[in-house]
Amino acid sequence: MVAGLMIDAGALRALLDPAELVITHNAGFDRPFCEALSSMFSGKAWACSVREVDCAARGFGHQARLSHWAKWLRPR
């Protein structure tokens, strides 16, 4: 699905420059790829929704899937 597509560096910079924290669903996996992709990720604090959020308390079970997050975070 992503073959031949490119990341828009300007859009990425616009998103990351004001960010103090980068949150991903599996930061231990995602962070090395992001940091290898661009130095824009350097010096940012990272958080992981898999390891740092009490998913059971939010009714997701022991580990939330991205589909659970999408449902929980969708605009109401």
Q: What is the pLDDT of residue 45?
A: 95
Residue 4 in any domain: the answer is no
The answer to the question of residue 45 being in a domain is yes
Could you give the CA distance from residue 44 to residue 70 in angstroms, rounded to a whole number? 24
Query: In degrees rounded to 5, what are phi and psi of residue 27?
Result: -60, -35
Task: Count CB atoms within 10 A of the CB of residue 64.
Answer: 20
**Residue range(s) defining the domain that contains residue 48:** 18-73
Q: Kindly state whether residue 61 falls inside one of the protein's structural domains.
A: yes
CA distance 19 to 48: 15
pLDDT of residue 63: 61
Amino acid at 64: A
Furthest-apart CA pair in the chain: how many Å?
A: 41
pTM of the model: 0.72
Would you write out the chain's pLDDT as a tens digit for each of its 76 residues? 889 999 999 999 999 999 999 999 889 999 999 999 999 998 899 999 888 877 778 777 666 777 777 777 777 6
Residue 5 lies in a domain: no
Number of domains composing the chain? 1
* pLDDT at residue 58, rounded to an integer: 73
**How many other CB atoms are there within 10 angstroms of residue 30's CB atom?**
16
Answer whether residue 49 is part of any domain: yes
